[in-house]
Structure 1
Amino acid sequence: MAAHLHMTAGAVRKGMSAFELMCWGHLLAQAAKPAAPPESKPLELSVEDEIAAWR
């Protein structure tokens, strides 16, 4: 990863595909986001509530 991050713009244009560049952009954006706190308890619906949610 460090080798990619230290590349010059010209080396990036010649050495990285658009897909690889998009992957790096996604990974770096995900790393910059703060982690969401875990939920304390999963939501449990009754059968009637679940059916109503689909309508």
Structure 2
Amino acid sequence: MLPPGGTAFAGRPAAPGVLHAGDAAVRAWTSLGWTWGGSWTDPRDTQHFSADGG
């Protein structure tokens, strides 16, 4: 797991700051045309967004 400190969050717990599909932040950014790292396949990066598709 990279980074090793992220191991506790690998299961996507319901914790402050952990993004999930359908969350308000994910909906807001994707409505502007950004892609969410949680929908990427390699690497999957659930805490980031990209204006150019990752």
| Higher helix residue share | 1
TM-score class normalised by the smaller sequence: under 0.3
| Higher strand residue share | 2
Structure 2 length-normalised TM: 0.23
